[in-house]
Structure 1
């Protein structure tokens, strides 16, 4: 929230002005306290000169505001001379210094790559001359100047991580146990967007803050955007719109391919397609990563011997997609796929249509909602599908129940065990070995605060005014109950294909998309193994019938489908030329 009565640019240029120290995260290793040289590097003169073809030299006088929090930035700013101070203001109007830039350094963070609004104010302290590189040209620089691009990209990513640690960006106000607030936190976290949380139950500044924005607790959850806009009980799409995430689409443009779903398969397809010169748009209803993005640590992915979190892995892929110019719209729900026209069209929520020569279905699968009495009313009020740092923080020091016997469940157990007092793991089978990788079984076996219950199912849930209060089960020895506030479900996979119901894409009885010979018996020649029953429509990843449920397999299909897209586009060009 902008405090217009606070310090103005003239005061902020004073070297003796007092700043509030940045708020550190509760992590053991802070990005802010390490890697400063990579985060804020100096470019030698030869590298500065290599940026000139991509930008425009611009001047600012001392006292001017170069950019303003919550509003579009001019672009990446490579300093030639001068002095610029970047600050941010918190919800109470206090000023925090982010960094000060001089000749040879560059201003910007990931927002400049996306074309999103700024997360700080740029105050020109001394007359400044700089090269300004806009988003499109910045992406060209990153690709064409590989070594310099790597240095810039690393700095942009580290700066975003630093802003996340500091708690920059929008301010969320409400009850930390409120399902709607948890959902908004998860949206921002999944999209690697910094935010500050003010828990109305504990923060002493809540009353004063509500008075400042003319709001009451009846408006919870409240989101105060960086430009000062106050959103009362907003949904995810409204927040994304207010933060400038959702791009405009040219109604006359036809993409080479549109990808629905930004999990590992969809992101891989986007990166490979865009890097090979295809025009690509990708949509996802929630955030990049899919189910893999919720994994606390993936330890058997090739090339990461120490393991990597699902969010970190898919977050890197997300950045790569941006680097190669993929048009990304998240969160955006797809109403339907229009298969009866050429080019094909996907209809977005709200009725707008985006045209494309080909479409890739990568919408993944969601956890099955088992038939448990009380489940619907308690989802988000103590019952969660998957885990994230948001939910883990809620159950710190408490006992929890987790249901599931696959790898995702195993990763969830290991993660929650580092936060919860005790984890009760329930599986329907006889042994974990039936569906879980051995390395996870070994890890779980070594955890003293995990108890395994085999042949056990949840039958009902009990609640009180605060939410979930008891999980009632049946096991081999009869009824069993757990007095807990949090239940985590990792139960099966249900394909996200309802948006295909009005299209002629063929699925199996469970909704998984058929491809290759299964989709068109007698037609497939082995070169269209990922193509569906509709020409030019492909399916990859967990949504595809017969796919291997592993991140590496999804990435492989994402890469493979690009060759088949080229094949279809080539065949159409050949037919058009012949006619």
Structure 2
């Protein structure tokens, strides 16, 4: 296509898809005008550039703007074209990340520019405008992920470090594309172009010019603009370990109550809930909500109240010191906290069968997100598990795979799966439910090709030809670093309340004149919420409630008199 033809085609506005490109009303533009300035634009002007932080929220008053990926590079392509009334940017603008594409003026006109910090405040204060912008930005983020925009991860499918980087990018919902060193045709050209030796992979290629050789998760996070732990020692009122639903709820309620609140997570915000394709029984969302959208909303809410979120930040030790606690990170940095909320969640258990080890991350997965579903294309897949996570995954994958085999060890789908999911799974034309069934062997050379499944009632065997396996067979808690520090149950979950009191050192509590509060552990001022807590319900709603409740109990611990909100009178 010639430059003239390209310019002519570029000015045609991209149709709105799924609410990704809505138009602001004249009233909304007028309200925004009071917080920013009108600015003339010139043809060819770059309004923001890929790889650089957003500085302004831009609404188009006249003219057109083209959104491009890899501007000037070999993979340059148009993502969208916007005209008057539309606004620019994507999720990174609200979350402090760098831009994943470039905005170029194609027809001169005028824009309304609002500083980013002021725009973040407006999104939090105006529910109508905030919801419109947030939904559009979430849609744009998933559009970019589907296009394979953003950075590239080039490496072997057999490399654990490649798997680590891909998981980090997927769990943080970061636009990226994986270039398979063994199979992708462009891999060899990229190796030559950037003078990369195969043994130096995996590498991350950013903006088509910068190369990070086998970066750590923290190095990749800094490249994208995710907030990393501060190297200098600091202090906070509440340290929240884990950024799933329980941790984010604690962050929101802690910060909104005026406590200096820091929330950290070793991998990503969202925990296991963030990988859920659809949550349909969460109060207030009758049509359901994806785990990613629920978590992004919670992250923005936590930022709104001033909570600090740091990812990735691996906590390695918790040490009592002068009625407070020193939290030590894997990189050696430390933060002192008056109270701690443990909300580190769980990891899904691995399926231990012959042949599966070398296929993990290649075609055996422990999450079913857009990333994994995109790798399945139209192939048949299998899901192992009989709980809600397995049911949600089966329904989601049925939209991508040609067939979904749901392998359930028990004899009744109702035993561990919510009725609303059973009612969708059982009649689904693309889902086959195999009860009394267990996987005995995984086969395949470079990727999964088949599974040997045994009927544990009859002893009969059956071979399933599948291209991918998704495993949801229970979970184990993130508590290895807490052994010897506070009391855990036999499975490693944290004891709280009455259970903690039975295991606590009475001399420690006699000085306080009380026993552990409802969610308090065997250490005063250290609370546990969500899936990591012994006896928890393992539901998003209950985890959120416990995160909020933990902050109420933090106040009681700090003040020794109950809630900070006191009734009037003497």
Sort the TM-score into its range (normalised by shorter chain). Answer: 0.7 to 0.9
Write the distance in 1 (CA, Å) between the matches of 2:76 and 2:528: 50
User: 8 Å contact 1:58–1:132 — kept in the other structure?
Assistant: no
User: Structure 1 residues 61, 96: closer, same or farther in 2, change over 3 A?
Assistant: closer
Write the distance in 2 (CA, Å) between the matches of 1:60 and 1:419: 43
Write the distance in 1 (CA, Å) between the matches of 2:78 and 2:148: 11
User: 8 Å contact 1:77–1:108 — kept in the other structure?
Assistant: yes
Write the distance in 1 (CA, Å) between the matches of 2:274 and 2:95: 20
User: Structure 1 residues 152-161 or 109-118, which shifts more?
Assistant: 152-161
- 1:476 maps onto 2:465 in alignment: no
- 1:338 maps onto 2:319 in alignment: yes
* Aligned residue among 345, 353, 371 for 1:372: 353
Write the distance in 1 (CA, Å) between the matches of 2:190 and 2:556: 58
- 1:51 maps onto 2:35 in alignment: yes
Q: Deviations over 1:273-301 (max 9, x none)?
A: 22232222211222222222222222222
- 1:494 maps onto 2:468 in alignment: no
The alpha carbon displacement at 1:141 in A equals 3.7
User: Structure 1 residues 324, 18: closer, same or farther in 2, change over 3 A?
Assistant: farther
Report what 1:271 is aligned to.
252
1:318-397 equivalences under 5 Å are 318-340=299-321, 342-397=323-378
User: Structure 1 residues 72, 196: closer, same or farther in 2, change over 3 A?
Assistant: same
Write the distance in 1 (CA, Å) between the matches of 2:113 and 2:371: 40
Report what 1:569 is aligned to.
558
Q: TM-score, normalised by structure 2?
A: 0.82
The alpha carbon displacement at 1:455 in A equals 3.4
The alpha carbon displacement at 1:526 in A equals 9.1
Report what 1:25 is aligned to.
none
User: Structure 1 residues 387, 572: closer, same or farther in 2, change over 3 A?
Assistant: same
1:388-427 equivalences under 5 Å are 388-427=369-408
The alpha carbon displacement at 1:196 in A equals 3.6
Write the distance in 2 (CA, Å) between the matches of 1:364 and 1:356: 20
* Aligned residue among 276, 281, 286 for 2:267: 286
- 1:38 maps onto 2:22 in alignment: yes
Write the distance in 2 (CA, Å) between the matches of 1:97 and 1:435: 43
The alpha carbon displacement at 1:515 in A equals 0.9
Gaps of 5+ in 1: 1-6, 23-29, 575-579
> What is the DSSP-based 3-state SS (H/G/I as helix, E as strand, rest coil) of the residue aligned with 2:560?
helix
User: Structure 1 residues 481, 184: closer, same or farther in 2, change over 3 A?
Assistant: farther
Taking only aligned residues, the RMSD between alpha carbons, in angstroms, comes to 4.0
Q: TM-score, normalised by structure 1?
A: 0.81
User: Structure 1 residues 31, 364: closer, same or farther in 2, change over 3 A?
Assistant: farther
Q: Deviations over 1:205-234 (max 9, x none)?
A: 555444433346555544211373223444
The alpha carbon displacement at 1:323 in A equals 2.9
User: 8 Å contact 2:58–2:88 — kept in the other structure?
Assistant: yes
Write the distance in 2 (CA, Å) between the matches of 1:397 and 1:161: 20
Report what 1:513 is aligned to.
494
Write the distance in 2 (CA, Å) between the matches of 1:110 and 1:456: 42
- 1:433 maps onto 2:414 in alignment: yes
The alpha carbon displacement at 1:562 in A equals 1.7
Write the distance in 2 (CA, Å) between the matches of 1:292 and 1:190: 10
User: Structure 1 residues 232-241 or 555-564, which shifts more?
Assistant: 232-241
User: 8 Å contact 2:359–2:447 — kept in the other structure?
Assistant: no
The alpha carbon displacement at 1:346 in A equals 1.9
User: 8 Å contact 1:173–1:197 — kept in the other structure?
Assistant: yes
Report what 1:304 is aligned to.
285
User: 8 Å contact 2:347–2:477 — kept in the other structure?
Assistant: yes
User: Structure 1 residues 543-552 or 423-432, which shifts more?
Assistant: 423-432
Write the distance in 1 (CA, Å) between the matches of 2:110 and 2:195: 39
User: Structure 1 residues 403, 108: closer, same or farther in 2, change over 3 A?
Assistant: closer
Gaps of 5+ in 2: 564-570
User: 8 Å contact 1:113–1:323 — kept in the other structure?
Assistant: no
Write the distance in 2 (CA, Å) between the matches of 1:159 and 1:450: 30
Report what 2:533 is aligned to.
544
Write the distance in 2 (CA, Å) between the matches of 1:256 and 1:302: 30
- 1:530 maps onto 2:514 in alignment: no
User: Structure 1 residues 333-342 or 361-370, which shifts more?
Assistant: 333-342
User: Structure 1 residues 16, 290: closer, same or farther in 2, change over 3 A?
Assistant: closer
